[in-house]
Amino acid sequence: MTKEKPLLLATNDDGIQSGFLITLVEELVKDFDVVTCAPDGERSWIGHAISRNAKLVPKKIKDYPSLAYSLNGTPADCVNLACGNLLDREPDIVVSGINLGYNITMPMILSSGTVGAAMEASLLGHRAVACSMCLPNDEFEDIRKSGGKKMGKKVEKSLRNSAKAVAKYAKNMASLTKPDGLTVHNLNFPSNYDGKEDPILTFADNLMLGNLFEPAPGEKHHQLVYRTEWLDEAEVETGSDLWALKEGMPSVSRLDFQGASGRSYFEV
């Protein structure tokens, strides 16, 4: 690494070998010194979990577009451990993603390992970006099972455009003064993103997901079942991240977790 470029830490919750992360890093290295530290496997829906008792061992990855490490921990673990042990200086920005599938509305945002990693960066005082891309419902499982490496040409083109947009956004953000509070910039891109429009400013919509788990057919356990109707049938508030997704537009919600402190109740 040199000190001529700003330093960027990249991570995700889909795993170090995710094709979506690799594509993003390929774009980021054009403007940043990049170190990647990501889980050694998928850690979706894990939020901001920190491993209390796990023995974490970072392993250097060869044949990667940046200096890279896999970690047997959570996305938030990756950020904390990398910032404290793997980087030679403080990162100018931390970018988490590109996630396989969107991360919009508060229930999904707060459950997201992608956002959880960015939240950890913000808690450490760093600029933080989470980024995700919507996938067609009929292609999602095949893309997920391939680790984000096998997809149709339209999705691949959208991914490339999304990665370029994230790199552009990160470059601009890294040049600005660090924001106060606990801020995460949460970017989401549609599955047919052409790269012509920058993400528009939105807010995170609210949504009641209800029961997440169903009995597995022929088994004794219950398992999380994602339902497309959660968003398909939701009431949409204009200006929200869900509204932007339904309109086919890229969006960015500037999430300020400082508001969760309860400080506003003491304001006169």
pTM: 0.95
Tens of each residue's pLDDT in the chain, 268 residues: 656 899 999 999 999 999 999 999 999 999 999 999 999 999 999 999 999 999 999 999 999 999 999 999 999 999 999 999 999 999 999 999 999 999 999 999 999 999 999 999 999 999 999 999 999 999 999 999 999 999 999 999 999 999 999 999 999 999 998 877 889 999 999 999 999 999 999 999 999 888 999 999 999 999 998 888 888 888 899 999 999 999 999 999 999 988 888 877 876 5
Q: Residue 149: which of 191, 100, 188 has the closest Cα?
A: 100
Exposure string (b/e) for 134-169, b if CB count within 10 Å is 16 or more? bbeeeebeebbeebbeebeeebeebbbbbbbbbbeb
pLDDT at position 3 is 66
The label of the residue with tokens 């398992």 reads 223
Q: What is the pLDDT of residue 2?
A: 58
Over residues 223-240, the pLDDT tens digits come to 998 888 888 888 899 999
User: Would you call 239 helix, strand, or coil by DSSP?
Assistant: coil
Q: What is the pLDDT of residue 32?
A: 98
Burial (Cβ within 10 Å: 0-12, 13-18, ≥19) of residue 110: middle
Residue range 104-141, pLDDT digits in tens: 999 999 999 999 999 999 999 999 999 999 999 999 99
Determine the Cα–Cα distance for residues 179 and 164; give it in Å rounded to an integer.
23
Helix (H), strand (E) counts: the chain: 8, 11
Domains of the chain (ranges, CATH numbers): 7-259 (3.40.1210.10)
Helical residues (DSSP H) of 175-263, grouped into ranges: 229-232, 241-246
